[in-house]
Chains A and B, each alone.
Chain A
Amino acid sequence: MSAPSRWKYFADGIIKENPVLILMIGLCPTLATSVSARDALGMAAAVTFVLIGSNVVVSLIRKVVPGSVRIPIFIIIISTFVTIIDYVLQAYQPALYRVLGVFVPLIVVNCIILGRAEAFAYGHGVFDSLLDALGKSAGYALVMLVMGSVREIFAAGTWFGYAVTPAWFRAAPVLFMIFPPGAFFLIGILKGIVNRLTAGRV
């Protein structure tokens, strides 16, 4: 396959097939963990690791996996990677783990991972699957960064923990944005913007 069409596997994940805003999968952890820019990026990093691992392994063994039991096998692979990142975060990044702790096991049921294993990695080569994982992760990280930043700036007046708004704003911030309704509100606006930008082309 030619180079430009391979590049597509990566680039599509960012806007055209953005896992959150276009494919609309994995919304629950997205809404739950995007309360601050730092937490959001931490979650995106954990998802990236699991998605790359699962896509590559699924692609490697796709020819010997019987179709009838492929889903249980995918789940075992995904949960193994999730447990590995759970241990590694606890051991080497305890501060990040304290924030992400409850959400890490939820990556197992994050539809982005199983969705890509089933829809892409099971039918494509290792390199293409790696590109797909990187692209979808980049798209996920982008949405997480935007949501985490907006919610943190509105609800706490800070960005990555640094004060970026005047003191009077931080004294009475828009708390609404840190609550679940704020997350739905924001993802609705983002979805609207993306629909407008991609109108007729997706």
Chain B
Amino acid sequence: MLQSKTWMVLSLVLTCIVAAIALSQVYGVTKPLIDSQAADALKASLSEVLPGAADFSELEPGTVWSATDAAGNRIGIVFKSTPRGYGGPITVVVGVDTTGRIAGLGIGADMKETPGLGLRAREAWFLDQFRGRTESEVTMKRDNGTLDAISAATITSRAVANGVREGMADYIHYLTSK
């Protein structure tokens, strides 16, 4: 019996059924938690770049959000942009206040730039210099702009600046509409 062809097929089928049942149970328990973790993480990453924001409403799915403060006043927009860096796409999260100036800049944790070089784009001194700038000012010094690039990581620095600039060009109209 145990070496028969029928049992060979049946044992595989049974294993798959048991595995599927176990997985669907675990999935059912963890799914709500995973979703709320993802929502919390998203909200935290958005609030970080626009100080004072209390609530966000999505304008374009997963890309642009309108931000309001605790009193319900419109205080700006937050957008996500994914320029191509040296090691793959970089997720850049940008907060823009109602005057069209950058309120804050964040970099997604999934970036794959070189440790010690491009990865330094997460450092505060690099991100802070974007604050208060308008779309036309977001350019590296070596491209006749105003921002300091990370030494030996020009591609990463430029990618971040391009992502910010292109995102502002695409989404800034949301500041005036609605």
Q: Which B residues form the contact surface with A (CB < 8 A)?
A: 2-3, 7-8, 11-12, 15-16, 19, 22-23, 26-27, 29-31, 33-34, 37, 41, 109, 115-116
A178 within 8 A of B: yes
Q: How distant is the Cα of A77 from the Cα of B29 in the complex, in angstroms?
A: 20
Give B106 Cβ to nearest chain A Cβ, in Å. 14
What band does the interface of chain A fall in when counting residues whose beta carbon is under 8 Å from B? 20 to 34
Q: Are A80 and B41 in contact (CB under 8 A)?
A: no
Q: Are A88 and B26 in contact (CB under 8 A)?
A: yes
Closest chain A residue, CB of each to CB of B112 = A102
Stretch at the interface among A41-49, A91-99, A109-117: A91-99
Q: Are B37 and A66 in contact (CB under 8 A)?
A: no
Q: Are B19 and A76 in contact (CB under 8 A)?
A: yes
Stretch at the interface among A17-25, A67-75, A194-202: A67-75
Give B17 Cβ to nearest chain A Cβ, in Å. 10
Q: Are B115 and A179 in contact (CB under 8 A)?
A: yes
Give the residues in chain B near A138, CB-CB below 8 Å: none
Q: Which A residues form the contact surface with B (CB < 8 A)?
A: 35, 63-69, 72-73, 76-77, 79-80, 83-84, 87-88, 90-92, 94, 98, 155, 175, 178-179
Q: Are A175 and B116 in contact (CB under 8 A)?
A: yes
Q: Are B12 and A72 in contact (CB under 8 A)?
A: yes
Q: How distant is the Cα of A35 from the Cα of B37 in the complex, in angstroms?
A: 25
Closest chain B residue, CB of each to CB of A75 = B15
Q: How distant is the Cα of A76 from the Cα of B34 in the complex, in angstroms?
A: 24
